[in-house]
Structure 1
Amino acid sequence: MVDVAFTALYPWSLPPDKPRTDRAAARSERDLYAAHFRHARIARLPADCPPWALGQDLGWVVRSPVTATLTPLSDTDVAVPEDEDVRAVSRRAGGGQMWRRGPDWIAVPDQGGSWLRRYDFRNSSGQWEAMFLPNGQGTVEWHLGVAVRLPQPYFLMVLPLDPPLPGLHVPVGIIGAKTVNTMTDISIAIHPTHPVAVRREQPVARLVLLHPDTLRATSTTTPLTAAPPAPASSPPDPAGPAAPVAAPNTTILDAS
């Protein structure tokens, strides 16, 4: 069995947790209705559907470590030549924050982007570090304060919730074990599309373990070589159309 290790790095960190479908509670409610109510029923219990239950229990749930209101960013990618002042370029870009990402910079207006610096935290070296970093095109890198140890040769996939959190788009991303194991703490990409309030411990995304074969898998498609023969036509039945045939375990009631 593969073991993925999550380690909280700070007192505020919330390591991802394994979801579990409470089948007993769901069945208890179904049985309660059947025993005590005349008409109320739960005819189809999702917890008794293996595909649904397996999907709900897949991977790990990522929870927000803070209570925050995330708003869309109107950021701009800019270059700062060596002979120019960063603050001067910031003013030309509309003012606000300047974040260095690689060789270039991302300018973020203070209006709408002030929440980025509100959750700076003291890291293990005693320095202030940003939890949220603009990543360009309205996206943000969200550091979770959790170290992950992933065995080779697996991958970790970041998925949005199902259903997704309204106003918070989580782009799908896949990270290899080599990269995951060298990261100080894991981060996910988010893209606020309109103001969204999240609470501490609220689910925001999901992590799923991937085997390399998932990425290398190919498919074979066999086209239909010849059209099937058309069914022979038959004269109309003087008794009228045939009654519909019910699927197994299904009753069709004509209330006309």
Structure 2
Amino acid sequence: MADIEFTALYPWSLLPDKPCVDRVAARAERDLYAAQFRHVRVTRLPQDCPPWVMGHTLGWTVRSPVSCTMTPLKDTDVGVPDGEEVRAVSLRAGGGQMWRHGTDWISVAGGQWMRLYDFRNGAGEWEAMFLPNGQGSAEWRLGVAVTVAEPYFVLVLPLDPPLHGLEVPVGVLRAKTVNAMTGGGGISIAVRPTRPVEVRRGQPVARLLLLHPDTVRATASDIPCPAS
């Protein structure tokens, strides 16, 4: 049996937890209606449906480690040629913050909230919890190290139903990639705020699932995979 291990890297870190279904409370409400009311009934409980229960208890819930208000990001990918100043290019791109991404830069307008949550790492230096990811999204570093056995994968999913105003793009991470995120900000997820959205510390924001490699490689025998 494959295991997954979560380790808190900082005092503010919140470990993902296993979702649960309260069958006792749901059945108590059903029985109360049947015993005390003339007409109202609960004819079928989702909590008594094994596929529903399995779907809602699969994986782990990712919770926000901070309370914050996120606003939509307007970003532009830019280059800064030799001899030009970063500030001058920033002004041409609309005056947003400039974040280095490899050899190029991302100019971000409306992302002032991202710099409010810089945290002190193990070396005593400040690191960013949120990093611009392009196309209106940010990389959210959760302060949690995740250890997964090879050759499994970790699947990042949005909530069901999704958190209104905050998109979480689906992503699949290899065990090697996940296990390497043991320092700094730990594992990260991508988020895209589509409107001002307030997230409270401890509030669920996404889900993690452990995937067997056969799940990633599986194909339908009668449906060819399009060439990439």
**TM-score normalised by L of structure 1:** 0.84
> Secondary structure of the equivalent of 1:118?
helix
Residue 82 of structure 1 deviates from its aligned partner by 2.3
Query: 1-side partners of 2:20 and 2:220: how far apart?
Result: 32
* 1:152 aligned to which of 144, 150, 153: 150
Q: Corresponding residue for 2:24?
A: 24
Residue 22 of structure 1 deviates from its aligned partner by 1.2
Query: 2-side partners of 1:98 and 1:218: how far apart?
Result: 42
Q: Corresponding residue for 1:102?
A: 102
Residue 118 of structure 1 deviates from its aligned partner by 0.8
Q: Which runs of 4+ in 1 moved over 4 A?
A: none
Bigger CA drift: 153-162 or 83-92?
A: 83-92
Residue 148 of structure 1 deviates from its aligned partner by 0.4
Query: 1-side partners of 2:222 and 2:179: how far apart?
Result: 37
Number of equivalent positions: 220
Whether 2:146 is the aligned partner of 1:173: answer: no
Q: Corresponding residue for 2:5?
A: 5
Whether 2:139 is the aligned partner of 1:141: answer: yes
Query: 2-side partners of 1:13 and 1:82: how far apart?
Result: 40
Larger radius of gyration: 1
Residue 96 of structure 1 deviates from its aligned partner by 2.7
Q: Return 5+ residue gaps in structure 2 as ranges.
A: 224-228
The one-letter amino acid of 1:137's match is Q
Measured against aligned partners, the alpha-carbon deviations of 1:171-230 in whole angstroms (never above 9, x if no partner) come to 0000000010011300000111111111111101000100000011121239xxxxxxxx
The one-letter amino acid of 2:156's match is V
**TM-score normalised by L of structure 2:** 0.94
Give the number of the structure whose residues are more often strand, by fraction.
Answer: 2
> How is 1:23-42 mapped onto 2 (pairs within 5 angstroms)?
23-42=23-42
Query: 2-side partners of 1:116 and 1:20: how far apart?
Result: 32
> How is 1:77-96 mapped onto 2 (pairs within 5 angstroms)?
77-96=77-96
Q: Corresponding residue for 2:206?
A: 205
Residue 31 of structure 1 deviates from its aligned partner by 1.1
> How well do the aligned residues superpose, as a CA RMSD in angstroms?
1.1
